[in-house]
Amino acid sequence: MIDTIFALASAKGKSGVAVVRISGSLARDCVEKLASTCPEPRQMGLRKLYDSVGDVLDKALVLFFAQNASFTGEDVAELHLHGSPATVKAVLKTLSDMSGLRIAEPGEFTRRALENGQLDLAQVEGLSDLVKAETEAQRRQALRIFDGALGVASTAWRGDLVHAAALLEATIDFADEDVPVDVTPEVLDLIGRVQKDLAREIKGSTAAERIRDGFEVAIVGAPNSGKSTLLNALAGREAAITSEIAGTTRDVIEVRMDLRGLPVTILDTAGLRKTDDHVEGLGIQLAEKRAAQADLRVFLDDDPSALSVEIQSGDILRRPKGDLSGGDSKESISGKTGYGVDLLIEEIADSLENRASGAGVAIKERHRVALISATQAIEIAREEVILGPDRAEFAAEELRVAIRALASLIGDVDVEQILDDIFANFCLGK
């Protein structure tokens, strides 16, 4: 028998309500031992909870979910307690003393949901991201994956490839039966459709990953160009030390921001110049590296082309210290007075929002690798199909490789699908 597990499902510490979750075959028995009676499935009931000697633990709301109709796919009970640490401790102690129960390991409820087919692997990843989401864009993306968007897409792609492989397998194994004489056009159409979708997802995976992990924007310029002052203005606090002394910033200073729901880290980098100071030189090297890797760069310099960091498409150029130059245009900015700062924020947000708009449902490097592997196998299959019927076996094998790669997205590999499709579509009945 699989252990029945329990754990505090809400945050630790004082709260208005604390939720204790129980999952396993003994979940209903636990509730009946604690509360004498268990509410009907999916109906909340108010119950007094008692310990093993009959003393009242708490007056709580109790929920029960029957097997296959719960998060884990097992019998699940939830105890909605008054959220004092003492109450939670007493209830957990009572549960731990019950035979057949144990405290859950980290992530074990979700693992059981995966093992019992309530969630696929991508949904598990989406749930993890949903719990960690800090911005609106992260929340929406994680919720989309948790709702099964990647699983739906993967199932559709695999369905087309399974059908294409079935057509090829039918021409090989059942050449004398009632099957299409030339399946090449249909196979190529199915393959081409999947290729187009995968190419779009691969392209959008970078943006999706950035939404998940955050965009980076580097402020770049010469020493004393106002980079740290601008960072402080953007952050709304003294995040970086400012000084008239050149070379004050030696390391990369990071400030996390939320821009229109997008997670953004602003980088204040060392001033770019030639120097004999070894420590400052190391800071400049790091600045150049981080700036080159950033998603967007804001150049504070009258002549940014003279700096050692290359200007890339979409980068933002500003004339620094607009308070001293009497700047009166959108090309000037002053972190000291705030002139042009709001406009800069809008421009950064517009740029990153445009990049995020192309995000797909593949949000992790694992997803991107699987999509690329599938794409490569599909391309080989397409080339084999074009070579003629004699290469059908090789084409079918490459499609099976692609199917397995796509199945890995959601942790589901079923090699029997092709056979099922053959018999269902061609009524071979052999």
Band (159; pLDDT cuts 50, 70, 90): very high
Residues 284 and 379: their CA atoms lie apart, in Å, by: 44
CB-based contact 364:166 (threshold 8 Å): no
Residues 235 and 386: their CA atoms lie apart, in Å, by: 58
Residues 277 and 282: their CA atoms lie apart, in Å, by: 9
Tokens at 247, concatenated: 């070379």
- pLDDT at position 67: 92
CB-based contact 14:85 (threshold 8 Å): yes
Strand partners, 63: 78
What's the mean pLDDT in 256-269? Answer: 87
Share the mean pLDDT of the chain: 84
- pLDDT at position 219: 87
For the chain, the straight-line distance linking the first and the last C-alpha, in angstroms and rounded, comes to 41
Q: Which helix (H) or strand (E) holds 109?
A: helix 108-115
What's the mean pLDDT in 126-146? Answer: 89
Share of the chain above pLDDT 90, in %: 42
Q: Which single residue is written with the structure tokens 């929340």?
A: 139
Give 17-29 as a DSSP string.
Answer: EEEEEEESTTHHH
Residues 52 and 95: their CA atoms lie apart, in Å, by: 10
Q: What is the CATH number of the domain that holds 68?
A: 3.30.1360.120
Domain assignment present for 271: yes
- pLDDT at position 418: 42
CB-based contact 212:363 (threshold 8 Å): yes
Domain assignment present for 202: no
Domain assignment present for 249: yes
Per-residue pLDDT at 180 exceeds 60:
no
Domain assignment present for 355: no
Contacts of 275 (CB under 8 A, 6+ apart): 247, 281, 284
Contacts of 55 (CB under 8 A, 6+ apart): none
Q: What are phi and psi of 206, to 5 degrees?
A: -65, -45
Q: What is the CATH number of the domain that holds 238?
A: 3.40.50.300
- Domain end marker among 115, 133, 156: 115
- pLDDT at position 415: 41
- pLDDT at position 250: 47
Cross-sheet strand order for the sheet of 296-300: 253-259, 262-268, 215-221, 296-300, 316-318
DSSP 263: E
Domain assignment present for 168: no
Domain assignment present for 290: yes
- Domain end marker among 115, 145, 171: 115
Q: Residue 337: exposed, middle, or buried by beta-carbon count in 10 A (0-12, 13-18, 19+)?
A: middle
What's the mean pLDDT in 312-339? Answer: 75
| Segments forming the whole domain that contains residue 11 | 4-115
Domain assignment present for 328: yes
Q: Interhelix angle for 392-407 vs 417-426, to 10°?
A: 120
Residue type, 303: D
Q: How many domains does the chain have?
A: 2
Strand partners, 56: 50
pTM exceeds cut of 0.85? no
- Domain end marker among 76, 100, 115: 115
Share of the chain above pLDDT 70, in %: 85
230-250 pLDDT per residue, tens: 888 877 766 544 444 444 444
Domain assignment present for 385: no
3-state secondary structure of 132: helix
What Å distances lie between residue 88 and 16, 19, 21, 98, 124, CA to CA?
Answer: 12, 9, 12, 16, 27
Tokens at 151, concatenated: 């699983």
CB-based contact 171:389 (threshold 8 Å): yes
Per-residue pLDDT at 291 exceeds 90:
no
Residues in the chain: 430
14-56 pLDDT per residue, tens: 999 999 999 999 999 999 999 999 999 999 999 999 998 999 9
Contacts of 45 (CB under 8 A, 6+ apart): 37, 39, 61, 62
373-398 pLDDT per residue, tens: 999 999 999 999 998 888 889 999 99
Tokens at 417, concatenated: 């699908």
What's the mean pLDDT in 80-103? Answer: 94
